[in-house]
């Protein structure tokens, strides 16, 4: 799978109550969602392989090399 321009990624720094769906210190793919962002949320592809909204304060946006992007995207489906 090739990484697509504009892919966004974030590291999970909190997961209270969602320990099965989110792992702290793991990189997750972010799906842009302006409505979610306006409400203070991020749309994340979590451990279920589906995208869900989580508080943006639980994540730190990061830039990752292409090889890491490809690896994360393969792991999330």
Write out pLDDT tens, residues 40-61: 999 999 999 999 999 999 999 9
pLDDT at res. 38: 97
Q: Is residue 68 part of a domain?
A: yes
**Position 2 in a domain:** no
How many distinct structural domains can be found in the chain? 1
Range of the domain at 19: 8-76
**45/72 Cα distance (integer angstroms):** 10
Q: What CATH number is given to the structural domain containing 38?
A: 2.30.30
Please name the residues in contact with 20: beta carbons below 8 A apart, sequence gap of 6 or more.
47
Residue at 3 is within a domain = no
**Best CA proximity match to 26, nearest among 43, 41, 47:** 47
Higher pLDDT, 22 or 63: 22
Residues ≥6 apart with Cβ < 8 Å to 67: none
The pLDDT of residue 26: 95
Please report the pLDDT score of residue 2 as a whole number. 35
**50 within a domain of the structure (yes/no):** yes
Sign for the pseudo-dihedral over CA of 19, 43, 74, 69 = negative
């Amino acid at each position: 799978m090739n990484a697509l321009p504009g892919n966004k990624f974030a590291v999970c720094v909190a997961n209270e109550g969602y320990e099965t769906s989110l792992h702290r210190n793991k990189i997750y793919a972010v799906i842009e969602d302006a409505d979610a962002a306006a409400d203070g949320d991020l749309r994340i592809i979590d451990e279920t392989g589906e995208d869900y909204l989580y508080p943006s304060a639980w994540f730190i946006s990061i830039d990752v090399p292409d090889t890491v992007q490809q690896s994360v995207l393969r792991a999330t489906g």
